[in-house]
Structure 1
Amino acid sequence: MTLKLYGVLKSRASRVVWMLNELGQSFEHVPVIQAYRLADPAAPDARFNTASRAFRAINPNGLIPSLEDDGLVLHESLAITLYLARKFGGPITAQSLAEDGQILQWTLWAAATCELHCTPIVMHLQKSSDLEPVRPSIEALRGPFDVLEAALAESGGWLVGGRFTVADLNLAEVLRYAQPARELFDDHPRVDAWIEACQARPAFQAMWAARETETV
Structure 2
Amino acid sequence: APLNTLTPSYLAINPMGTIPCIDDDGMVLYESMAINLYLARKYGTSVAPKDAAEDAHMLQWSFFAATEIETTALKISSTFAENLADSETGKAVIEVAARMLRRPFRVLEQHLADKDYLVGDRFTVADLNAAEVVRYAQAHAPLFDAHPAVKAWLERCQSRPAFKAMWDARAAEPA
What TM-score comes out, normalization by structure 1 length? 0.75
Q: Secondary structure at the match of 2:131?
A: helix
Instruction: Note the alpha carbon deviations across 1:26-67, whole angstroms, 9 max, x for none.
Output: xxxxxxx5xxxxxxxxxxxxx532322222122111222101
Match of 2:27 among 72, 89, 96: 72
Match of 1:118 among 58, 73, 98: 73
Counterpart residue number, 2:100: 140
- Match runs of 1:1-216 below 5 Å: 33=1, 48-128=3-83, 129-130=85-86, 131-134=90-93, 135-154=95-114, 156-215=115-174
The gaps in structure 2 that reach 5 residues or longer are none
- Cα distance between partner residues in 2 of 1:174 and 1:71: 28
Runs of at least 4 residues of structure 1 off by over 2 A? 47-54
**RMSD of equivalent CA atoms:** 1.4
- Cα distance between partner residues in 2 of 1:157 and 1:63: 32
Q: Secondary structure at the match of 1:73?
A: strand
- Cα distance between partner residues in 1 of 2:53 and 2:167: 32
Q: CA offset at residue 153 of structure 1?
A: 1.4
More off after superposition, 75-84 vs 115-124: 115-124
Instruction: Note the alpha carbon deviations across 1:93-129, whole angstroms, 9 max, x for none.
Output: 1111111110000001011111011111111222223
- Cα distance between partner residues in 1 of 2:3 and 2:128: 28
Q: Supply the AA of the counterpart residue of 1:112.
A: T
What TM-score comes out, normalization by structure 2 length? 0.92
- Cα distance between partner residues in 1 of 2:106 and 2:81: 27
- Cα distance between partner residues in 2 of 1:49 and 1:143: 39
Percent of residue pairs identical = 50
Q: Supply the AA of the counterpart residue of 2:36.
A: T
Q: Supply the AA of the counterpart residue of 1:169.
A: L
- Cα distance between partner residues in 1 of 2:21 and 2:15: 11
Q: CA offset at residue 90 of structure 1?
A: 1.9
Aligned pairs, number: 170
Q: Secondary structure at the match of 2:23?
A: strand
